Amino acid sequence: MTDALEERLIEALKRVEAHGDVAPPSVHDPMTMLLRENVLQANLVRWDDTWGRFVLTGTGRRRIAAGSRTPGTVLSFRRRVTAADRGPPHRKPADADSGE
């Protein structure tokens, strides 16, 4: 059941990208209105005053991309380099000569 809801959400996001809304404004179906509210609350779309329509956020675009992958796909991630991975900073030893 979750897969069906996820597929419906991804289709709605694709419609937002193509047409600017989940459904035409004349549609007052409760499920469509609930879907519109869910994508807004999940920060997948936002209203753009310049365009006068909904636009996808970066999160919404990633959600569409994630939905197009087949289940069980192995993803590779870049390893994050932390300060511990780099080691301690290089310092001059305290007992070193000052060059005299």
Please report the DSSP string for 55-71 in residue order: EE-HHHHHHHHHHHSPT
Helix axes 2-19, 58-68, angle to 10 degrees: 130
Q: Which CATH class is domain 2-80?
A: mainly alpha
Mean pLDDT of the chain: 78
Asked if residue 1 has pLDDT above 60, the reply is: no
Q: Determine the pLDDT at residue 84.
A: 61
Q: Given pLDDT bands bounded at 50, 70 and 90, which one contains residue 99? A: low
The pTM assigned to this predicted structure is: 0.59
pLDDT in tens, 16-59: 888 888 888 788 888 888 888 888 899 999 999 998 998 999 99
H or E segment to which residue 53 belongs: strand 53-56
